[in-house]
Amino acid sequence: MKVLVSTLTKTALTGAVFLIFYSQAVVGQTRRPTANTPSAAKVKVTQVDEVAFKKLLVPNGKPLLINFWATWCDPCREEFPDLVALDQEYKGKIDFLTVSLDDPADIATTVPKFLGEMKAEMPAYLLKTPDESAVISSVSKDWRGGMPFTALYSPDGKLAYFREGKVVMETMRAELGKLLAPASTAKKDELYVTIDFVKIKDGKRPETMYYYEQNWKPYREEALKRGIIHSYELLESVLVTTAPFDLILITRYSGEEQHKNSEKNFEPILKQMRPNGPATMNAVKPDEFRQSVFVYRGKDLTSSFN
Partner 1 sequence: MKVRFLFAVAILALAGFVLMPTPTGQAAAGLEIGATVESFSLPDTDGKVQTLEALKGKNGTVVVWLSAQCPVVKAYKDRINEMAADYQTKGINFIGINSNASEDATWVKSNITEYGYKFPVLVDKGNALADKWGATVTPEVYYLDKKNVLQYHGAIDNDRSGRNVTDQFLKTAFDSSLSGKPIAKTRANAFGCTIKRVGE
Cβ atoms < 10 Å from Cβ of 271: 9
- At its nearest, how many Å lie between partner 1 and the CB of residue 10? 9
* Closest by CA position to 250, among listed 236, 233, 231, 237: 233
Burial of 291 (0-12, 13-18, 19+ CB in 10 A): middle
Among 56, 85, 97, 147, binds partner 1 (CB under 8 A): 147
Cβ atoms < 10 Å from Cβ of 207: 21
Nearer to partner 1, 201 or 205 (CB): 205
Among 20, 35, 183, 283, binds partner 1 (CB under 8 A): 20
- At its nearest, how many Å lie between partner 1 and the CB of residue 131? 7
* Residues 252 to 271 in contact with partner 1, rule: CB under 8 A: none
Candidate list 43, 45, 73, 168, residue with the active-site label: 73
- Scanning 16-24, 37-45, 88-96, 182-190 for contacts with partner 1 by CB under 8 A, the matching segment is 16-24
- Scanning 31-39, 90-98, 128-136, 265-273 for contacts with partner 1 by CB under 8 A, the matching segment is 128-136
Rounded alpha-carbon distances, angstroms, from residue 52 to 58, 84, 126, 127, 296: 11, 24, 11, 9, 48
* Closest by CA position to 81, among listed 45, 110, 43, 119: 119
- Scanning 53-61, 83-91, 158-166, 259-267 for contacts with partner 1 by CB under 8 A, the matching segment is 158-166
Site for partner 1 contains 101 (CB under 8 A):
yes
* Closest by CA position to 166, among listed 74, 65, 34: 74
Nearer to partner 1, 119 or 127 (CB): 127
Site for partner 1 contains 181 (CB under 8 A):
no
Burial of 95 (0-12, 13-18, 19+ CB in 10 A): buried
Among 37, 72, 244, 255, binds partner 1 (CB under 8 A): 72
- Amino acid of residue 111: V
Cβ atoms < 10 Å from Cβ of 302: 12
- At its nearest, how many Å lie between partner 1 and the CB of residue 257? 22
**How many binding residues for partner 1 (CB under 8 A)?**
72
Among 85, 159, 180, 270, binds partner 1 (CB under 8 A): 159
Active site residue 76: yes
- CA gap 116, 27 in Å, rounded: 27
- CA gap 64, 38 in Å, rounded: 26
Mark 28-67 with x for binding to partner 1 (rule: CB under 8 A) and - for no binding. ----------------------------------------
Site for partner 1 contains 5 (CB under 8 A):
yes
Active site residue 251: no
The dihedrals phi and psi of 119, each to the nearest 5 degrees, come to 60, 40
- At its nearest, how many Å lie between partner 1 and the CB of residue 133? 4
Among 96, 106, 148, 230, binds partner 1 (CB under 8 A): 148
Candidate list 43, 65, 66, 76, residue with the active-site label: 76
- CA gap 212, 219 in Å, rounded: 10
- Scanning 34-42, 87-95, 106-114, 137-145 for contacts with partner 1 by CB under 8 A, the matching segment is 137-145
Cβ contacts of 231 within 8 Å, gap of 6 or more: 224, 251, 252
Active site residues: 73, 76
